[in-house]
Amino acid sequence: MTVYIVDLEAVETRYTAQWKKFLPEQMAAAGLQVTVLSGGEVPQATTPGAFLNFAGTNSYKSQQLQHISNLFANGIVKDNDYFLYTDAWNPTVIQLKYMAKLLKVKIRIGGMWHAGSYDPHDFLGRLIGNEPWVRHAESSMFYCYDDNFFATRFHANMLLRELFNVEPMFTDDEIEQWELEDYPGTPRVHIVGWPMEYLKDILNPWKNTPKKDKIIFPHRLAPEKQLEIFKDLATAMPQYEWFVAQEHTLTKDEYHRHLAESKIVFSANLQETLGISMYEGALVGTYPLVPDRLSYTEMWEGGSKYPSEGTLTWESYLENKERMIEVITVNMRGEILKEYALQKALTIGDKFFNGTALYKVILDSTT
């Protein structure tokens, strides 16, 4: 059995470059025979505020489709092979399904969901919304996958609610997968976390970096990240250094240094289906300060979560500004925050940033 990784284009400033290197190695170590289906080179400059380049990503996916088509045309794909899309929002999965069904090759397909129009704060959600073409396209892609993978319960619930009008079912840590009972033969949904075991080793050298009175904003410069709140707090609290990572051209090592020397990694996000930068911060002893909403609610605890209304809207922020200032002031003085972050990273890493559950689904489905 071969696992074909239909990967996401590697942009050096994103985790996709790390996945390009580490994911095949990790899957091979789990006992899977892996072949990567790349789409070649892509523009490293992403569309402003976006995760990738909107034009470049379609060129990349088109090249992947050509590879996949040639595999079928040459009789290389066999029964029991598995195609893993590391970004489920990839229309080529429809064409893959088309070939597999008509050529009667019994493959399985898995897709890892990151975002879509079903999230009102995603680029697709903000710019396209619920136009029928995009909603039907996402539903079709969902049904093309035998296994739909999500990193968090929050994200799975949101997709099921917005695309299929199904009330959230993932409310218990014990639930790992669920099938839509009203739709026979529906794809399976799995909450597995993301395969990021490598982050511990990458960030380990930075965890003893001396701290400064510094707060870092690690996110994309997009509306749903609410940079304006961070900058307003910076104006109100000039005694601290406030650093916006994406306003600088940083290598990964430079970013990690700024992250490690900060005391707080801050989020006011309106969209988050996992929260990688918060985990990266915790790995180097930088205290995550996040709103009690989105995926953060199921991942973090205690003082690391501030009330959602603190940054829910600009108006809500202004009403709660003094409270936010107090929360930050108290946390910047805390002496145990570094140790808390390091300890919390251990438990969060095992559940949300580990590929073991993902690899097991693939192994179990093809044996």
Domains of the chain, residue spans: 2-197+354-365, 199-350
Which range has the worst mean pLDDT, 223-227, 302-306, 356-360? 302-306
How long, in residues, is the chain? 367
In this prediction, residue 179 has a pLDDT band, given cuts at 50, 70 and 90, of low
Out of 3.40.50.2000, 3.40.30.10, 3.10.105.10, 3.40.720.10, the CATH code matching 199-350 is 3.40.50.2000
The answer, yes or no, to whether residue 55 has pLDDT greater than 90, is no
pLDDT, averaged across the chain: 90
Burial per residue of 243-252, b for 16 or more beta-carbon CB atoms within 10 angstroms, e otherwise? bebbeeeeee
Sign for the pseudo-dihedral over CA of 344, 236, 270, 52:
negative
Q: Kindly give, in sequence order, each residue whose CB lies less than 8 Å from that of residue 103, ignoring residues fewer than 6 positions away.
A: 72
Nearest one of 194, 193, 159, 157 to 172, comparing CA atoms: 157
The mean pLDDT of 294-306, rounded to a whole number, is: 92
**Within 75-122, where are the H helices?**
92-102
Question: According to CATH, what is the number of the domain 2-197+354-365?
Answer: 3.40.50.2000
Q: Do 2-197+354-365 and 199-350 share a fold?
A: yes
The mean pLDDT of 20-29, rounded to a whole number, is: 95
